[in-house]
Structure 1
Amino acid sequence: MTLPIRPRRSALYMPGSNARALEKARTLDVDCLLLDLEDAVAPEVKDLARNQIVDAVTAGGYGNREVVIRINGLETPWGEDDLRAAIKAAPDAILVPKVNSPADLQRIAHMLSVYGAPKNLSLWAMMETPQAMLNAGAIGACGKDANVRLTCFVMGTNDLAKETRARLSPGRVAMTPWLMTCVAAARAGGIDILDGVYNAFQDEEGFAAECAQGVEMGMDGKTLIHPKQIEPCHAAFSPSEEEIAWARKINETFDQPENAGKGAIQVDGKMVERLHAEMGKRVIAIADAIAARAS
């Protein structure tokens, strides 16, 4: 399944229990909104949060921001009601927490069909448990199954640290093998992947460093916990003007008739292959999608 390219540089968690936050979300320059019914919502206000999110999403006004509802797990007292409510609200995607295996997504996907969910409603998967790390390849492969509707991984690094007892220290040495495993699994499944949150939202230098690390790892964007993180996140995960210009130049050169049958050519004194042109096409597509969202 070939998915449309869209910018997912930033994905901001917004608690469903905070009506003011749901309203403010309509004004934020963010690519994705993660309207949360799970970790950010206390048990005693789960029902309130669900109702507020349904009302907010149904009312619309979020423009070209991608709207995603994170439900509680089906094993909880709220999970199935969350799923039904999310389907009724018709967001862009439903974020499934604590996915351990393909069966977890397949079960949700079956319920989407039973409840008559729109065909364009996709699933995102939280990757935040030891089982998920061990089954990452199989979970990512769900991206190849149109019936499962999987389009994105979201790294839940806080929960992963809790479950494994690994430390979330600067540089994330302990997390790196799992992060890169999930990047590989996402790419094998043809889906996007978003990095975990940075908890110290007042630490601008540390946040910038972790964004840069996510870019190096191949992440498509990062999940956020505060609006002040949006702008530096976009700066990190947006292709630079130089990268865009180089990508266009490579593709324009390969498109010339004399280069039609060549696998490698010279551009500005550098040898480039067609694989670089394909990589450049994605850079151009992301840049165009960012420009379209901004307009």
Structure 2
Amino acid sequence: MPASVRPRRSALYMPGSNARALEKARELDADVLILDLEDAVAPDAKEQARAQVLAAVAAGGFGRREVLIRTNGLDTPWGHADLAAAARSGAHGVLIPKVESDEAVRQADRLLAAHGAPRELALWVMMETALGMLNAKEIAAASPRLAGLVLGTSDLAKELHAHHTPLRLPMITALGLCLLAARAHGLAILDGVHLDLDDEAGLEASCRQGVELGFDGKTLIHPKQLAAANAAFAPDAASLDRARRIIAAHAEAMARGKAVVLVDGRLVEALHVAEAHRLVALAKAIGAEAVSGTDLPAP
């Protein structure tokens, strides 16, 4: 299930136990909604949260937004029931927490299939432990249903005994391993959260770093963070202008029998043209989704 140009600039966690938040989610400018049954839900509210999330997804009305259900881990009392319920929920995908091995992915895939999950239901996995990072290559190749990786940097920092520094240098190796694994296997990949809701400059800097590293978007914990992520992970006007000029110049060069061309004094080859086409396609998808008022099919 290769990554597509579907926008995933912003992925907002929504607590499954909060019915008001689930209702509000239908109006938020998020590309992805992660309806959470795990960390955001107290143990005594797990059953109620599951029922509310299933009802919300069945009711629809999420429009262009990609809807994922984050289940509890399969080693918890609620994980198997969560996965069984999510299999035929109508969500676009299921997000499994704290995945550390390729067998964990295959187990989730088998359970989804056993409970009647359609082939188009995507499987996403949280990458948030040291062992998970070391096994990223195997995890990314574990199932054709797998669509993407989501970084859980808060849990990772805790496990590493590391600090959340502005440049996240203590976690760069782990982020890089996951990015390599995702891109090698055609998966989408989302960056971890920024925890300080009052630190707008820090959020913007974290988003810029995520873009520079190669992430498709950023996971978020509050609607007030949506604008920064949507702006950072969308192609800007200058990048789009250059991308279009690269495409046009390369097409003209090819028509003259040349494989390379200069644009703004820089050599342009096929790899640059491919990236230019990706940026233009992403911008078109963002524009198309911004005016869409109907539910989109699963990616």
User: Is TM > 0.5 for Structure 1 vs Structure 2?
Assistant: yes
Q: What is the match of residue 237 of structure 1?
A: 233
What do the CA deviations read for 1:168-191 (whole angstroms, capped 9, x no partner)? 122111011111111111101111
1:23 aligns with 2:23: yes
CA contact (8 A) 1:69 1:86 kept: yes
Secondary structure of the structure 1 residue equivalent to 2:170:
coil
What do the CA deviations read for 1:82-113 (whole angstroms, capped 9, x no partner)? 01111231200000101001111111111121
Q: What is the match of residue 130 of structure 2?
A: 130
Q: Which amino acid aligns with 1:20?
A: R
Q: What is the match of residue 44 of structure 1?
A: 44
Structure 2: which 5+ residue stretches go unaligned? 292-299
Q: 1:79 to 1:245 in 2, by over 3 A?
A: same
* TM-fit CA distance, 1:4: 3.1
Counterpart Cα distance in 2 of 1:178 and 1:5: 25
* TM-fit CA distance, 1:116: 1.2
1:292 aligns with 2:288: yes
1:87 aligns with 2:87: yes
* TM-fit CA distance, 1:2: 3.9
Q: 1:19 to 1:30 in 2, by over 3 A?
A: same
Counterpart Cα distance in 2 of 1:133 and 1:268: 40
Provide TM-score, normalisation by structure 1.
0.95
Q: What is the match of residue 201 of structure 1?
A: 197
Counterpart Cα distance in 2 of 1:271 and 1:162: 44
Q: Which is further off, 219-228 or 84-93? A: 84-93
Q: What is the match of residue 206 of structure 2?
A: 210
Higher relative contact order (CA 8 A, sep 6+): 2
Q: What is the match of residue 249 of structure 1?
A: 245
- Cα RMSD after superposing both structures: 1.3
Counterpart Cα distance in 2 of 1:106 and 1:260: 50
CA contact (8 A) 1:254 1:260 kept: no
Counterpart Cα distance in 2 of 1:38 and 1:91: 17
What do the CA deviations read for 1:143-184 (whole angstroms, capped 9, x no partner)? xx42xx111110000111122211212211101111111111
Moved over 6 A (4+): none
Structure 1: which 5+ residue stretches go unaligned? none
CA contact (8 A) 2:125 2:149 kept: yes
Identity %: 52
Counterpart Cα distance in 1 of 2:216 and 2:126: 15
Counterpart Cα distance in 2 of 1:273 and 1:267: 10
**What number of residue pairs does the alignment pair up?**
291
